Amino acid sequence: MQRMREWLEIRIGLDELIRSQLTEYRVPKNINLFYTLGIVAFVAYLVQSLTGILLLFYYIPDDKDAFQSVQLIMNHVPYGWLFRLIHVVGSNLMVAVVLLHVVSVFFLGSYKKPRELTWVVGALMLLTTLGFCLSGYLLPWSQLSFWATTVVTNIPTAFPVCGELVCRILRGSETVSGVTINRFFALHVAFLPPVLMSLFALHVFLVRRIGISAPPDGSEEEGEWQQFRHEDHPNGPPFYPYFVSKEAFMIVLYFIIMFSIISFAPALFLPPDTSVPADPFSTPEHIRPEWYFLAPYQMLKLIPNRFLGIALQLVLVAVFIFWPLIDKSEKANILKRPRLLALFLGTIVVWIGLTLWGSR
Partner 1 sequence: MERRRFIKLLSSLLGLSALGAFLYPLLRFLTPSEASIAAKKVTVAKGDIPAGTTKDLMIGLTPAIILNGRDKGFLAFSKVCTHLGCLVKFHPERQVFICPCHNGIFDLEGNVVSGPPPKPLQKFSVKVEGDKLVIG
Q: Point out which residues bind partner 1 (CB under 8 A).
A: 54, 57, 76-80, 82-83
Minimum CB separation from partner 1 for residue 256, in Å? 12
Minimum CB separation from partner 1 for residue 11, in Å? 27
For partner 1, give the closer residue by CB, 85 or 97: 85
Q: Is 277 helix (H, G, I), strand (E, B) or coil?
A: strand
User: 216, 108 in Cβ contact below 8 A?
Assistant: yes
For partner 1, give the closer residue by CB, 197 or 256: 256
For partner 1, give the closer residue by CB, 73 or 192: 73
User: 31, 215 in Cβ contact below 8 A?
Assistant: yes
For partner 1, give the closer residue by CB, 76 or 301: 76
For partner 1, give the closer residue by CB, 246 or 336: 246
Minimum CB separation from partner 1 for residue 318, in Å? 41
Give CA–CA dist 209/66, Å, rounded. Answer: 44
User: 166, 154 in Cβ contact below 8 A?
Assistant: no
For partner 1, give the closer residue by CB, 80 or 140: 80
Minimum CB separation from partner 1 for residue 94, in Å? 18
CA-based nearest residue to 55, from 69, 41, 75: 69
User: 108, 285 in Cβ contact below 8 A?
Assistant: no
User: 145, 197 in Cβ contact below 8 A?
Assistant: no
Question: Residue 334: is it exposed, middle or buried by C-beta count within 10 angstroms (0-12/13-18/19+)?
Answer: middle
Minimum CB separation from partner 1 for residue 297, in Å? 35
Q: Which amino acid is at 110?
A: S
Minimum CB separation from partner 1 for residue 62, in Å? 19
Minimum CB separation from partner 1 for residue 83, in Å? 6
What secondary structure does DSSP assign to 47-92, as a single string?
A: HHHHHHHHHHTT---STTTHHHHHHHHHHTSTTHHHHHHHHHHHHH
Give CA–CA dist 279/48, Å, rounded. Answer: 28
For partner 1, give the closer residue by CB, 77 or 204: 77
Q: Which residue intervals of the chain are DSSP H helices?
A: 2-12, 14-18, 37-56, 66-75, 80-107, 116-138, 143-154, 163-171, 178-186, 192-210, 244-264, 294-302, 306-321, 323-326, 338-359
